[in-house]
Amino acid sequence: MGISSHEPQHHSHPFDSGSKMEETRAILARDEIIERSSSDYDKESKVWSAHKNKHPQLVARPKSIESLSRLLKLLNKTDIDFDVRCGGCGSASASGVLISMSAFDGFEFSKEEETVIIGAGQLWRHVDAKVEEFAPGYSVPGARCPYVGVGGGTLQGGVSWMSSEFGLTSDPQNMLDAQVVKMNGDVLWASQDPELLWALRGGGGRFGVVTALKLKAYKYPKTVYSGMILYPREALSALAKAVPAFADRNTDPKIAVHFYCLDMTQGAFVGKPSVPGLGLLVYDAHGEEHGRSEQGFKWALDIPGATDTTAAMSYRQVNALSDSIEAIRGETNQMMTGVVVPIVTEDLILRTWKWFDETLVWEPKLNAGTFVLIEIMQSNAFNTVKSRSATGWPRPDGRHILQLGCGALNRECTEELHRKAIKALAEGAEQILDRYSVSDCLPRDFEEFHDPVEMFGENVEKLRAIKKRVDPKNRLKGAYSI
């Protein structure tokens, strides 16, 4: 996990001129091979967190199920280091072969079944646009940030603006099926193997390479009310009281809000200290009139110092509000943790911002990757399944999400600074929450302090048994070993 300097980390490649790498190239079509010298290399290999980039010797971009099957079957017989990249917020990389899934970009909508089948190599921005064009009047409970990958985001839970009403993307009522290529080259829909489908629903992935997902589509308003309400830092005290009060009284699953710091990275990129403000990203699927009313967010608009940038917009446009954050892809050494919490209180908010402030006082250079975010949701997001054993990820007993991030600009992130970021993030949730456990964390962040055995709890042994059956050589290295 750690890095030795801020320079690119080059790794030795035992197969640089070996026969197995040449054999790998030989089974791929010419336009499926991306070398380091290619103009597409950076686009197809860039990670979110820069320190996790292993600078792969070769990027393979298979364009068909058959090609991917041949590739995995061959890699299964070697010890070439490889990984599978969807292209979202993950940081999949390998010193040998990196498989880019970006060619798996299909979209099929069935109005009769009210389902979509989508290629797992896309980002959610691609799916949002296709749903808007080809399935008007419907929406899919996908990620709220358009730069999240479809495959990785879904297999690691999948939190949506629609989750308070319909549950997580990976819930059985939403993730109906998944097409998988196993390491031995076999291709199947996971519904043919119910235990595999169970594991894929939030179990951290790595049981095979998912190429497509069949998801439930819901009739949904074409226009929602959303956008930012911005505040000066002096409004923290008022917001720390108002946000928990809203969370307590709101029981409408079509209404949600995010509360977070603004301009966390802007100062860092221009060499100046960050001056973080505050912001609420509001969401009301009942529309603008309702959103501005007493039943919606009039309370937030009335807080002194509020700057209103909200409007009526489509579901796609709501998600696109965070598009600019993608500019930090590959620029920071950022780590994250998301914790499901049962209740948001004034004290929790004040402790969260205290951690943020004290972290940047302790080490100002962490301003490029340090943020706080509190997501106010309904309990349905995590409790639509009947039990903790209903899916691969045993759901925590909570309602809201506390998200913390920490990191620095890659170009100046020394090993010492990286260790400081790990320490600050690892200790953050413990400083903020009265009771913290890795078992309450979302299964999308696997930093070195996230114990996967604790995260997956009583489901670990079953997950390991399925993993051993479908990937007996453990070539798809996952959160937990077999």
Query: What's the rounded Cα separation, in Å, for the pair 10 and 385?
Result: 44
Nearest in space to 260 (alpha carbons), one of 361, 161, 371? 371
Query: What's the rounded Cα separation, in Å, for the pair 403 and 414?
Result: 25
Report the domain count for the chain.
3
Residue with tokens 């006082």: 361
Q: Which residues contact 463 (CB under 8 A, 6 or more apart)?
A: 199, 203, 204, 392, 456, 480
Examine the domain organization and report whether 411 and 279 are in the same domain: yes
Residue 469 domain-assigned (yes or no)? no
Query: Tell me: the pLDDT tens digits for 229-249?
Result: 999 999 999 999 999 999 999
Residue with tokens 């990984």: 83
Mean pLDDT of 269-288: 81
Q: What is the pLDDT of residue 97?
A: 97
Query: Tell me: the pLDDT tens digits for 16-63?
Result: 446 889 999 999 999 999 999 999 999 999 999 999 999 999 999 999
Residue 460 domain-assigned (yes or no)? no
Question: What dihedral angle (degrees, nearest 10) is formed by the CA atoms of 39, 42, 45, 51?
Answer: 160
Residue 73 domain-assigned (yes or no)? yes
Q: What is the DSSP string of 258-327?
A: EEEES-TTHHHHTTS-----EEEEEEETT-HHHHTSTTTTHHHHTSTT-EE--EEE-HHHHHHTTGGGGG
Supply the mean pLDDT for the chain.
91
Domain boundary among 75, 100, 125: 100
Mean pLDDT of 194-223: 95
Please report, for the domain that includes residue 51, its CATH number: 3.30.43.10
Examine the domain organization and report whether 235 and 216 are in the same domain: no
The widest CA-to-CA distance across the chain, in whole angstroms, is 69
Domain housing 239:
224-453
Query: Tell me: the pLDDT tens digits for 403-435?
Result: 999 999 988 889 999 999 999 999 999 999 999
Q: What is the pLDDT of residue 13?
A: 44
DSSP state letter for 126: H
Examine the domain organization and report whether 372 and 239 are in the same domain: yes
Residue 156 domain-assigned (yes or no)? yes
Report yes or no: 316 and 135 within 8 Å, Cβ to Cβ: no
Please report, for the domain that includes residue 413, its CATH number: 3.40.462.20
Taking phi first (over 0 means left), then psi (-120 to 50 degrees means alpha), and beta for anything else, what does residue 271 get?
A: left
Q: What is the pLDDT of residue 9?
A: 41
Q: What is the pLDDT of residue 411?
A: 87
Query: What's the rounded Cα separation, in Å, for the pair 81 and 104?
Result: 22
Q: What is the pLDDT of residue 273?
A: 60
Query: Tell me: the pLDDT tens digits for 331-372?
Result: 889 899 999 999 999 999 999 999 999 999 999 999 888 999
Q: What is the pLDDT of residue 480?
A: 60
Examine the domain organization and report whether 285 and 398 are in the same domain: yes
Examine the domain organization and report whether 198 and 254 are in the same domain: no
Structure tokens that stand for 406 in this block: 């920490």
Query: Tell me: the pLDDT tens digits for 102-126?
Result: 999 999 999 999 999 999 999 999 9
Please report, for the domain that includes residue 118, its CATH number: 3.30.465.10
Q: What is the pLDDT of residue 327?
A: 83
